[in-house]
Structure 1
Amino acid sequence: MPETRTPPPARTDARRASRLGRVMLDLRLRLVALVLLSFGPPAALLITSELQQREHELGNARRELTRAAAVAGAEFDARLRSAQLLLAGLANVAAIRSAQEPRCSALLGELFARGAGLGGLFVLDRDGRTVCSATPGPQGLSFADRDYFKETVARRAPTIGVPLLARPHGRALLGLGHPLLGDAGEVRGVLVTSLDLAAFAEQLAALDPVAGAAVTLIDARGEILFRYPDAERWLGQRLPDAVLVRAALASTRGTAVEARGLDAVDRVYALAPLGAETGQVLRLALGVARSDIDGPVNEIVRRDLAAITLLAVLTLAAALLIAQRSVHAPAQRVLEVAHGERERVQAELALREERMQLQAAALSAAANGIVITDRDGTIRWVNAAFSRLTGYSADEAIGRNPRILKSGQHDAAFYAGLYRTVLCGEVWRGEMVNRRKDGSRYTEDQTITPVRSDSGEITHFIAIKQDVSERKTLQQQRERLAAIVEASPCFVATADAAGTVRYYNAAARRMLGLADDADPAQVRIADTHPAWAAERVLGEGIPAAVRDGIWTGETAFLARDGREFPVWQAILAHKAANGGVEFMSTIALDLSSIKQAESQLRNLNAELEQRVAQRTRQIETTNQELESFSYSVSHDLRAPLRAVDGYARMLEEDYAAALDQEARRLIAVVRAESGRMSAMIDDLLTFSRTGHGLIANGAVDMMVAAREAIAQTSPAYPAACVVLEDLPDAPGDRMLLRQVWVNLIGNALKYSSKAAAPRIEIGGRTDGAENRYWVRDNGAGFDPRYADQLFGVFRRLHGETEFPGTGVGLAIVRRVVTRHGGRVWAEGKPGAGACFGFALPRGH
């Protein structure tokens, strides 16, 4: 379908100028003929002009009436929505929901006094009886027969009734009901009010939207609810067959018609439906009589005819003079003025269009999300930032309600307060947590501004949204860090680049003896240190921190009571991107207790060194005594044994022939016991030497020590198979640890010598903080119940004749290992072999 375009102002002005030029030429050339024929052409022109003027005036009347009817319809819908919102808001008030008197009636009365156009405010019980009202009246007034009361109770939802004429004042009212629900959703009562349709129509008539207009309000049944003028004559009459009523009932949307009114007067009417949401649509008819529209035109025609007659006579006498001086020059000036006015209007329109384009571009490119909704909350426009913020594209958001962003974080009271603010025409500002399309939540700073029409009615809302999630997170982190710093037991302070202290934490105030409300800026850095520490901080610490970023060292602070206490102090310079110092901070740790502990430790160390020296002297004395004792034992006990053994050997050798068999056996026993006694003395001396004396602490190659022990003990047992695995090195005394291997390997060879195939396994490994070693054999074994007794002196589980020995070897093993900080163990079963092991700490 081709698009109809309005000619631009420039083209219209050009046509008018061209037409006016042609008219001026015709006037000059045909002025005489025009005067002579003045009664013909002017009459025809007058008739044509009258018809055009009548059509013009009729069109104006239609437009004015249609506009007035549309405004009236919008005003009525606004009042209806306002009344519904009022009932919904009152239904959430506890005093009204529970009908608490006198609070309930007082609240209703206060709101009724503010609400123009309401026929009353009542709270009814489930039976329709009045329990409280906005105006004084008899309690128990029943609304049980009202259709909107019944429908509200049945549906448990807001309803709108059928218009009716109230008695006795005879005014048309439109009833509204809103349920009062209990906690379980049951209907506890109904909140009702009514719109005074007559008051609405009276106000409309008083505004006189079109001069001399007749106002008629008709319900869906054809009943006249209001008529101006002559309201008393037509009120309450049901005239479904009247021409105007039929036209109004047949109209489903705003239109303009010509019809005969109730008073048989032909009028131009504008028809508009009111309250389409009620289901009981009312019709408003605004009409102006045709005589009122055509009358001014007829009067003009009469005046023009008289003027033309007079003009024809005068023009004949002075045609040329009038044409030159009175027509052509003024017309030229009119053209010039019209041309200038056209250019001014064009420039103004261009500027206005440019501003609108700039505003639209600014809104679209704004960094913050912008949403425009209508009064009902339907989204009408969003910018790109809104889509980036919420994840909803413009196509997905437009036509929907902003409740799609609700996160469930806020309760109904929060949103009720928001709606109450903006519906009152005020700007709402605040933070709220919303939900994106993907379900993630974010915090936004939002401003909602109502937009009013030229009539002052709120038509739209503009919401500006800014995502502050990151800012909230950073703020929470800063608050946590500030709380940590404030609660820290360390001294913490900050100062600006000029050296003025800006902050002390609680520990710093406590150390310096400052009150909690003391102004840090009044405290000089030099005054918080003794002279020597202040000189170091100001002369060394701060310059080094500015240069290197941080300085640490031991200083001291000075409390208000004059007490000096040592601290470990760190000074930090916090720099901007350009390298300049923004502020300084310091952290200090009170060293008083540490210094005191160090002093005590030094005293204890000195005392310990003195005790160690004293104990060392005692040990050296004891060792000397033990060495003397060992020498005595070795000399004093060995000499008699050698004598006994020597005399027995002499008897055996020199007097063998004189001795009988028993005597020779006894001499052999004496010599054997003497040798055994000598071996026991040797083992005791060895055992004694392993219990005292200093231990050489060095790295011992255990593989070498074990091989030497095998070489020393294995020749006596050639049938034995000895297997040596890798052994980890151990710290300790090489000679003593070698003795351990000699005793363990010697025992294993001895106690496995009677096995069919003697086998000795020697192994070791590192296990955590210790090295473990063992010697395993397949010999006689032992009863595991007596494992702990094996490492005692002279403890033996086998007879001397079965396996010779002194019973001191394993005791020596335990003493050496224990002195090295280790431990020993034994495992075995009779006839199934034995395993003897020891463990040494790796860092002994």
Structure 2
Amino acid sequence: MAEAAWLETHEGADVGPQIIFGMDATGRCTLSVGPGLAALGFGPNELVGTNLLDVYRDDPLGTEAITRALAGERFHGEREYLGRRLALHFEPLLDDAGHVTGAAGVATDVTDQRASESAGAAAQRRAHELASDLSRFKALVEASPDFIAIASLDGRVEYLNPGGRALIGMPADTDVRRTTITDYLTPEGVAASLEIEQPAVIRDGHWEGQTTLKRWASDDSIPVVVASFLMRDISTGEPFALATVQRDISERVAAEASLRDLVEQRSALLTRLVDAQDAERARIAADVHDDPVQACAAVDLRLGLLRRRLREHAPDLLPELDGLQESVRGATDRLRALLFDLEPPDLHEGVTPALARAVEEVFEGTDVIRSVDGTAEPQMPESTRAVAYRIAKEALVNAFKHAGARHVRVLVSGVDDGLQVLVEDDGVGPGDGLESSLPGHRGVSGMRDRATLAGGRCSVEARPEGGTCVLLWLPGAH
């Protein structure tokens, strides 16, 4: 009767599938009913007559529940059984004298309920994490000095961060939702946005480049570097807004303009310097031709006349006269070579053809194998080509005078927006002799100084396989 009364009080409870147990004071099952039995593989009252302590022999929690209930205690707990989670509630059954006559219990299948609770808790944690992430992201955007804006797909602006407002000078109370993308751009920026940026964002989902923002209520422009992209729905992937992050590059643009001015000034100064050097070379050449060369030629002529007289009257002086005449002729040849060196090079076809002629002139009459290659020669200012030619020719003269080389190679190419000239030989390698070249020349130091003055660099190094490598680089006009 006590078992039936307990069962009556628990029927209809708002719980999951249940199994209701009854047992006598020894633990023998007297009742086993409920829809939860099917999930565990049992039929109604199939366990009746079985000692439940034997059934739960390997289940510490089940054994504890039965033992405590038969000892007169209530028990509440949960256990895993056959892949299901059961909530256990056992009550002792007492007679009128208060003696334990058995126990009754309910095992409620709470598997789905716990899973739902766990999923809910996980969803709650995820929602909290998302809210935290959004809060941090908002703080980042609000603190950024960059121009960060969001617009609808039709171009209406929906959000502009404080840094963006400050950059363009927009008052804090201006409602950006009454503006469109074009309200923030200069005419040039509007054209670029319509013709380049927006089509690229629609086609590729993103675009990066440069444009100009407009200061609010003025025509002043602000150069910016831009990263614009589509914002997409996380679930569907469909675009719902346009976003842009733009950074002020006014200082960089100003620095680049200053650098361009310096480059132009350097190029103009180099041109004037080369012109002045060529003019001075022409003046020296004229002076040498009109005075020393003519004088030496006259002396040679007089010595020839004197030689005829000495042959008749003092033949013993002829050897001394021959040596003197040879010295005069050598001096005349050197002066004529200097005149040739002082002549301005023909550079209208480029450095490569000019150096090809110089190689043949320097090594004429020798068995030195030489090659000149300049198929990749870039377009350069006349003054830069003149400096490159003079330095490279100096290297060729050094190779002829000091290296004792069997092979000489010249390579002209474009490197790093500039002109590079390589002169290498397989001779004895660089040494002290290079520092003091021909009279009037300053060897390696002069080559380096010329390159530095033109904004470039010149190195003279030994080649691993033997010989010398002269590497010259001069910047272009940009």
Q: Which residue of 2 aligns with 1:582?
A: 240
C-alpha distance 843-472 of structure 1, shift in aligned 2 (>3 A): farther
- Measure the CA separation in 2 of the matches of 1:811 and 1:546: 56
Q: Which residue of 1 aligns with 2:309?
A: 654
Say if 2:161 is the partner of 1:505. Answer: yes
C-alpha distance 617-592 of structure 1, shift in aligned 2 (>3 A): closer
Contact 2:410 2:423 in 1 (8 A): yes
Contact 1:375 1:459 in 2 (8 A): no
SS in 1 for 2:298: helix
Q: Which residue of 2 aligns with 1:729?
A: 374
Say if 2:449 is the partner of 1:793. Answer: no
Shift of residue 747, structure 1, vs aligned partner? 3.7
Q: Which residue of 2 aligns with 1:680?
A: 334
SS in 1 for 2:222: strand
SS in 2 for 1:791: coil
Contact 1:570 1:586 in 2 (8 A): yes
Q: What is the TM-score normalised by the length of structure 1?
A: 0.35
C-alpha distance 377-281 of structure 1, shift in aligned 2 (>3 A): closer
Within a 5 Å distance, the mapping from 1:474-623 to structure 2 comes to 475=130, 485-486=141-142, 488-496=144-152, 501-512=157-168, 524-525=178-179, 529=183, 554=211, 556-559=213-216, 564-566=220-222, 568=224, 582-590=240-248, 592-593=250-251, 604=261, 608=264, 616=271, 620=275, 623=278
The letter of the residue matching 2:147 is: F
Contact 1:725 1:762 in 2 (8 A): yes
Q: Which residue of 2 aligns with 1:380?
A: 81
* Structure 1 residues 45-98: Cα deviation after superposition (integer angstroms, max 9, x where no partner): xxxxxxxxxxxxxxxxxxx15667999xxxxxxxxxxxxxxxxxxxxxxxxxxx
Contact 1:491 1:508 in 2 (8 A): yes
SS in 2 for 1:679: helix
SS in 2 for 1:713: coil
Q: Which residue of 1 aligns with 2:426?
A: 776
- Measure the CA separation in 1 of the matches of 2:135 and 2:241: 19
Shift of residue 584, structure 1, vs aligned partner? 3.5
Within a 5 Å distance, the mapping from 1:294-443 to structure 2 comes to 375-380=76-81, 382=83
C-alpha distance 843-547 of structure 1, shift in aligned 2 (>3 A): closer
- Measure the CA separation in 1 of the matches of 2:436 and 2:328: 25
- Measure the CA separation in 1 of the matches of 2:303 and 2:329: 12
- Measure the CA separation in 2 of the matches of 1:255 and 1:574: 65
* Structure 1 residues 499-518: Cα deviation after superposition (integer angstroms, max 9, x where no partner): 76443224214325578xx6
Say if 2:371 is the partner of 1:713. Answer: no
Contact 1:554 1:567 in 2 (8 A): yes
Contact 2:150 2:157 in 1 (8 A): yes
Contact 1:687 1:812 in 2 (8 A): no
Q: Which residue of 2 aligns with 1:194?
A: none
Contact 1:573 1:583 in 2 (8 A): yes
SS in 2 for 1:379: strand
- Measure the CA separation in 1 of the matches of 2:90 and 2:169: 65
Q: Which residue of 2 aligns with 1:645?
A: 300
C-alpha distance 656-481 of structure 1, shift in aligned 2 (>3 A): farther
The letter of the residue matching 2:435 is: Q
SS in 1 for 2:78: coil
C-alpha distance 540-673 of structure 1, shift in aligned 2 (>3 A): closer
SS in 1 for 2:333: helix
Q: Which residue of 1 aligns with 2:37?
A: none
Contact 2:27 2:66 in 1 (8 A): no
Percent identical residues: 16
- Measure the CA separation in 1 of the matches of 2:151 and 2:463: 72
The letter of the residue matching 1:645 is: D
| Aligned residue pair count | 388
Structure 2, unaligned stretches of length 5 or more?
A: 9-23, 31-51, 54-61, 93-103, 378-384
Contact 1:726 1:763 in 2 (8 A): yes
Say if 2:392 is the partner of 1:760. Answer: no
- Measure the CA separation in 2 of the matches of 1:534 and 1:775: 55
Q: Which residue of 2 aligns with 1:253?
A: 27
Q: What is the TM-score normalised by the length of structure 2?
A: 0.54
C-alpha distance 652-827 of structure 1, shift in aligned 2 (>3 A): farther
Contact 1:574 1:584 in 2 (8 A): yes
SS in 1 for 2:425: strand
C-alpha distance 283-724 of structure 1, shift in aligned 2 (>3 A): closer
- Measure the CA separation in 1 of the matches of 2:364 and 2:188: 74
- Measure the CA separation in 1 of the matches of 2:89 and 2:173: 51
Shift of residue 562, structure 1, vs aligned partner? 6.7
C-alpha distance 827-666 of structure 1, shift in aligned 2 (>3 A): farther
Q: Which residue of 2 aligns with 1:838?
A: 470
SS in 1 for 2:163: helix
C-alpha distance 673-614 of structure 1, shift in aligned 2 (>3 A): same
* Structure 1 residues 607-643: Cα deviation after superposition (integer angstroms, max 9, x where no partner): 956x866875676466435423321222111222222
Q: Which residue of 1 aligns with 2:12?
A: none
The structure with higher relative contact order (CA 8 Å, sep 6+) is 2
SS in 2 for 1:685: helix
Contact 1:765 1:773 in 2 (8 A): yes
Say if 2:288 is the partner of 1:633. Answer: yes
Within a 5 Å distance, the mapping from 1:37-436 to structure 2 comes to 64=1, 252-253=26-27, 375-380=76-81, 382=83
Shift of residue 570, structure 1, vs aligned partner? 7.4
Tell me which of 687, 690, 700 is aligned to 2:352.
700
C-alpha distance 839-556 of structure 1, shift in aligned 2 (>3 A): closer
* Structure 1 residues 378-432: Cα deviation after superposition (integer angstroms, max 9, x where no partner): 213657xxxxxxxxxxxxxx7xxxxxxxxxxxxxxxxxxxxxxxxxxxxxxxxxx
C-alpha distance 701-454 of structure 1, shift in aligned 2 (>3 A): farther
SS in 2 for 1:729: strand
The letter of the residue matching 2:77 is: D
- Measure the CA separation in 1 of the matches of 2:222 and 2:360: 60
C-alpha distance 713-826 of structure 1, shift in aligned 2 (>3 A): farther
The letter of the residue matching 1:679 is: D
Between 620-629 and 642-651, the greater mean CA deviation after superposition:
620-629
* Structure 1 residues 81-119: Cα deviation after superposition (integer angstroms, max 9, x where no partner): xxxxxxxxxxxxxxxxxxxxxxxxxxxxxxxxxxxxxxx
Shift of residue 842, structure 1, vs aligned partner? 9.4
- Measure the CA separation in 1 of the matches of 2:350 and 2:246: 44
C-alpha distance 534-570 of structure 1, shift in aligned 2 (>3 A): farther
Contact 2:422 2:470 in 1 (8 A): yes
Q: Quick check: which has more Rg, 1 or 2?
A: 1
The letter of the residue matching 2:150 is: T
- Measure the CA separation in 1 of the matches of 2:396 and 2:219: 67
SS in 2 for 1:656: helix
Contact 1:817 1:840 in 2 (8 A): no
Structure 1, unaligned stretches of length 5 or more?
A: 1-63, 72-247, 257-271, 286-373, 384-397, 399-448, 715-721, 753-758, 795-807, 829-833
- Measure the CA separation in 2 of the matches of 1:835 and 1:723: 14
Say if 2:324 is the partner of 1:670. Answer: yes
Measured on the aligned residues, the alpha-carbon RMSD in Å equals: 6.4
Shift of residue 700, structure 1, vs aligned partner? 2.2
- Measure the CA separation in 1 of the matches of 2:326 and 2:390: 29
* Structure 1 residues 471-506: Cα deviation after superposition (integer angstroms, max 9, x where no partner): 689948877766665555431112346876443224
